[in-house]
Structure 1
Amino acid sequence: MKKYSIILLGMVFMLAFLSPAAAEKKGDKPAPAPKQEAIYSIPDSVMNITKDNTYPNPAEDLPFLQPSELAKTLIETSKVKIENPDLIRLLNETSINSTPFAIGYRAIVYLGEWPLNYESTETSPNWQYQKINTNYYDNRGGNAPYQIHYVQEQQKAVKGGLTAKVKNAEDVQKMMMLKAAKKTGLPLALETIVGAGTKKDHIYNIQPNRLGYLYAYAPAINEKGKVTYGEVYLMLKGNKKMIVVKNVTSQGIGAWIPIQDHVTFGFVSSERPR
């Protein structure tokens, strides 16, 4: 639908305006998301494994797409807030020629139904979102403490995602990740992988006559809020241009978003097998 919208826009503007005036400038390249300090106190049991991970996770920083001058002007005419990066990109690819002979001209171009914005209502961490590894040693026959440390036994992929089915799920996920990353200052990704053989040197002591279990968990952010949808129209009336949004609806949505290259450790010592 997006491709057809772009083609339709081009045909309308070529037919409507005969004057070869200069097109509006496109926006600058997407600016990287500004890094912020985390608003949450990360527990001591959570460790960064970026340098230790045997699987190099690609950075998944989503850019804050800057609208062009034309796109910014169009967005400001909308009565509904527009934050969807893909819709902004479509508007950035649009150019409209101005001409003094457009008096009396009127056109309406349907750009499709879009998720327009996401409003966050709750952002909370789950430091033990998914167990990814267990290191174990039986020291019940030992006479001295036994030291163990974390070694990832198998490669583990931890995936996040939306908690319910919604239209344009990929666009919604992008907006939710942008809001959650801005609020937490944490490196978030829809998927993070911990490679086999990943290690941490921190030592845990298992006393004699006891068993020791070192559990490793992947942490994640639980993001909840509301996504707003609407049918988007580009209206041209004479030399005026504006965005009109119709049939606006809102839907509650949640998502789990893993914290990339971070592991939460939990050590348990017991006299009996668990």
Structure 2
Amino acid sequence: MKKCLSILMTLLLMFSILPTGFAEKAPVKKTVTYQIPLSVRNISKENTYPNSTQNLPHLQPSELTKKLINSSKVKIENPDLIRMLNESSINSSPFAIGYRAIVYLGQWPLNYESTETSPNWEYQKINTNYFDNRGGNVPYQIHYVQEVQKIVRGGLTAKVANAEDVKKMMLHKAMEKTKLPLSFETIIGGGTKNDHVYNIPANRLGYLYAFCPGVNEKGKVTYGEVYLMLKGSRKFIVVKNVTSQGIGAWIPVQDYVSFSFAASERPR
């Protein structure tokens, strides 16, 4: 009896320890935060050109579309394909025994998997403010004034099929990861200002450089031929000839400017 009681106590002790051991070995999910440097400032209120906000709401699939997407062995995230399926209507009949049909929906970029998202705060130079204080005896103050309107465009780093669909999926993933206002085109209007002051010492030349930040997005896009299969009352999607391709893109950050100030004895 004492021997059985001893074994029982040992087992209880083991079970009380095991969950703690397993919890310690559980993987910790790492989250990446994109800290905006102090040299980068939001100019959305000062920008003389009103950029249109890129709203990319997550398209909600209908009940039918959900069933069709879940029936596919390949993940489907393309919002344009989801929209087309949402607009489709398929009536089922309880007497459709033996009915069979195959509908070819075309070749589509089905999903995009992001592998790297890297901000470049000096993606493209947009302006230089300059003042020669070599003849002065006291510091001279300058601030940012955009001399001419500047259009900054991003784009894909390689040619791919259905490029616009791919850009939408890449933009959506990059915005989700960075929480930054991204757009493949942004405009900084002439006359845009920022009140932050930079001091040019006496006997120095002052240069205030302005840059449009951008995000370098890299990943993999998956293509496939999409077929809608109808068998009796069953409806499902089959994807054939699946291929994957690596792709990258530069996406400007909208209504943000990165500044770099330099004072020198000689012209640059």
TM bracket, shorter-chain basis: 0.7 to 0.9
Partner residue of 1:214?
208
Structure 1 partner of 2:223: 229
Partner of 1:149: 143
Moved over 3 A (4+): none
Match of 1:31 in 2: none
Tell me how far apart the structure 1 counterparts of residues 163 and 173 of structure 2 sit (CA, whole Å). 15
Provide the residue aligned with 2:49 in structure 1.
55
User: What residue number does 1:247 align with?
Assistant: 241
TM-superposed deviation, 1:163: 0.3
Question: Which of residues 76, 90, 94 in structure 1 aligns to 2:84?
Answer: 90
Partner of 2:168: 174
Q: Which of residues 192, 195, 202 is equivalent to 2:186?
A: 192
- What are the ranges of 5 or more consecutive residues in structure 2 without an aligned counterpart? 1-30
1:67-116 Cα offsets, whole Å, 9 max, x none, are 00000000000000000000000000001111111110000000000000
Which residue, 252, 268, 274 being the options, matches 2:262?
A: 268
CA contact (8 A) 1:38 1:186 kept: no
Rounded Cα–Cα distance in structure 1 between residues aligned with 2:33 and 2:88: 38
Q: Percent same amino acid among aligned pairs?
A: 77
**What is the Cα deviation at residue 238 of structure 1?**
0.3
Tell me which residue corresponds to 1:26.
none
| Superposition map of 1:17-28 within 5 A | none
Match of 1:116 in 2: 110
Separation in structure 2 between the aligned mates of residue 243 and residue 45 of structure 1, nearest angstrom: 50
TM-score after normalising by structure 2: 0.88
Correspondence for 2:64? 70
Look up the match of 2:13.
Answer: none
Gaps of 5+ in 1: 1-36
SS for the counterpart of 1:203 is strand
Find the residue that maps to 2:195 and give its secondary structure: coil
The alignment's TM-score, normalised by the length of structure 1, stands at 0.86
Residue of structure 1 in register with 2:10 after alignment: none
CA RMSD of aligned residues (A): 1.0
Q: Is the 8 A contact 1:220 1:259 kept in 2?
A: yes
Secondary structure of the 1:200 match is strand
SS at structure 1 position matched to 2:169: helix
| 1:39 Cα deviation from its structure 2 partner | 2.1
Aligned residue identity for 1:248? V
For the residue of structure 1 that corresponds to 2:107, the secondary structure is strand
8 Å CA contact 1:38, 1:185 repeated in 2: no
In 1, Cα distance between the equivalents of 2:266 and 2:166?
Answer: 47
> Structure 1: how far apart are the matches of 2:222 and 2:178?
22
How far does residue 62 in structure 1 lie from its aligned partner after superposition? 1.2
SS of residue in 2 equivalent to 1:175: helix
Report the 3-state secondary structure (helix = DSSP H, G, I; strand = E; otherwise coil) of the residue aligned with 1:150: strand
2:199 is aligned to 205
Task: Give the deviation of 1:38 after TM superposition.
Answer: 8.6
- Count of aligned positions: 238
Determine the C-alpha separation between the residues in 2 that align with 1:161 and 1:112: 25
The letter for the 1-side match of 2:135 is G
Q: Per-residue CA shift, 1:41-66, capped at 9, x if unaligned?
A: 10000000000000000001212111
Deviation at 1:191, TM superposition (A): 0.4
Q: Which has the larger radius of gyration?
A: 2
Secondary structure at the residue paired with 1:202? strand
